[in-house]
Amino acid sequence: MEPAETLTVESEIVACDGGNGPLGHPRVYLNMEGKGQIDCPYCGRRYVLAESAASGGH
């Protein structure tokens, strides 16, 4: 199944709240743990780690 939306991020840990203000969902913190991407279990947004962030720097 295709993700609802794909966002490129600079950090392995992201916060997702659905992005729709009061119509969103509870804020959850998602940790990619070196996988390079993760899908939100609530809204299906896919977060992909940017290549520049994946090269290390943290």
pLDDT per residue as tens digits for the range 25-37 = 999 999 999 899 9
**For residue 25, which of 5, 42, 6, 45 has the smallest C-alpha distance?**
42
Question: Rounded distance, CA 7 to CA 5, Å?
Answer: 7
Q: What is the mean pLDDT of residues 2-18?
A: 92
Q: Which domain holds residue 28?
A: 6-54
**For residue 27, which of 19, 39, 38, 37 has the smallest C-alpha distance?**
19
Let me know: does 48 contact 36? Beta carbons within 8 Å.
Answer: yes
pLDDT category, 22, cuts 50, 70, 90?
confident
**For residue 7, which of 35, 54, 40, 31 has the smallest C-alpha distance?**
40
CATH number at 19 reads: 2.60.260.40
**For residue 47, which of 29, 24, 26 has the smallest C-alpha distance?**
29
The reported pLDDT for the residue numbered 53 is 80
pLDDT category, 43, cuts 50, 70, 90?
very high
Question: Does residue 39 belong to any structural domain of this protein?
Answer: yes
Question: Does residue 1 belong to any structural domain of this protein?
Answer: no
Q: Kindly report the average pLDDT of the chain as a whole number.
A: 88
